[in-house]
Amino acid sequence: MSVNAVNGTDNRGRNAAIGAGVGLVGGGAAGYFTKSILKDGNFSDEFIHKTMLATAADDSARDNLKLSKKITEMGDDASVGKMKKVLNDVMEKSNKFVAEDQIEATKKAIAEGSDDEVKSIFNGVKTAAETIYDEGKKVVSDTLETVYDKAGKKFKELPQDAAEETKKFFEAAKKTARNMKIKPAAIYGAAAAVVAGLIGYAATPKAKPAEGEASAEKANA
């Protein structure tokens, strides 16, 4: 006998909730174990980028990395308006490294220059951003090779006499890998919970009315 039919109690809602709970656990586990920091045997671009952010010197360096990545991903079909916005962001972040008069002159050229002039400025900035970002990616990727066993798909054991900088990088990379798995696990879990809950509801037969309820229904018929 189905548990929903006892004493005329409709347990479909309860069973749906139980199904959702099982789906959340099972789906979350599936998400955790299917998300990988590797792609085609190499470190994924996402993992490298997030490790770059995690090991950056400070918030300013992180902001510059994010902006550099954004610039490198802009295609040739980007609008001049979008180019101007990005270039102005670059100018705002350059005040620590570039003379103020040079920044103001470049801002004026961006604001008043023709579309072709703006594109020329943007292409120069993009080339520089690509060079800097790619060099950063290579450094991080090469360092990851020293702390992660790609064949075994696990982090290596660091020697006790490892340099302090290596230890910091190691811990940051491990935390980044763990955090990358947590978010997809939550997404998988939520989706699985919805599906499992619906299945639990649909697969539970509707309860028959209790004896008193059945008599009342007949009397009212």
Q: What is the pLDDT of residues 66-118, one digit of tens each?
A: 999 999 999 989 999 999 999 999 998 887 778 888 889 999 999 999 999 99
Overall pTM > 0.85? no
Cα 75 to Cα 84: distance, rounded to the nearest angstrom? 14
Structure tokens at 85: 């916005």
Residue after which a domain boundary falls, among 144, 164, 188 = 144
- Are 129 and 186 part of one and the same domain? no
* Closest-CA residue to 2 (of 187, 183, 193, 208): 208
The fraction of the chain above a pLDDT of 90, given in percent, is: 54
Q: Which domain holds residue 112?
A: 59-144
- Are 71 and 105 part of one and the same domain? yes
- Are 121 and 194 part of one and the same domain? no
Best-predicted range by mean pLDDT (5-19, 97-111, 139-153): 139-153
- Are 95 and 135 part of one and the same domain? yes
- Contacts of residue 80, defined as CB under 8 A and 6 or more positions apart, other chains included, come to 115, 118, 119
Residue 1, in any domain of the structure? no
Helix (H, G, I), strand (E, B) or coil at 94: coil
- Are 172 and 205 part of one and the same domain? yes
- In this predicted structure, the answer to whether residue 35 has a pLDDT above a threshold of 80 is no
Amino acid at 109: A
What are the two backbone dihedrals, phi and then psi, of residue 42, each rounded to the nearest 5 degrees? -120, 165
Residue after which a domain boundary falls, among 144, 163, 180 = 144
Residue 54, in any domain of the structure? no
- Are 18 and 84 part of one and the same domain? no
Q: Are 108 and 84 in contact (CB under 8 A)?
A: no
Residue 215, in any domain of the structure? no
Residue 217, in any domain of the structure? no
Residue 128, in any domain of the structure? yes
Residue after which a domain boundary falls, among 109, 144, 179 = 144
Triad 76, 77, 82: Cα angle to 5°? 100
- Are 112 and 175 part of one and the same domain? no
Query: What is the total count of domains within the chain?
Result: 2
- Are 198 and 159 part of one and the same domain? yes
Residue written as tokens 């801002």?
A: 107
Task: Tell me the average pLDDT across 182-192.
Answer: 46
Q: Are 188 and 31 in contact (CB under 8 A)?
A: yes
State the first-to-last Cα distance of the chain, in angstroms, to the nearest integer.
Answer: 28
Helix (H, G, I), strand (E, B) or coil at 42: strand
Structure tokens at 179: 């955090």
- Are 24 and 99 part of one and the same domain? no
- Are 88 and 32 part of one and the same domain? no
Residue 125, in any domain of the structure? yes
Residue 189, in any domain of the structure? yes
Residue 168, in any domain of the structure? yes
Report the interhelical angle of 45-54 vs 164-203 (nearest 10°).
Answer: 130
- Which of 38-52, 93-107, 111-125, 193-207 is the least confident region? 193-207
- Are 160 and 130 part of one and the same domain? no
- Are 160 and 138 part of one and the same domain? no
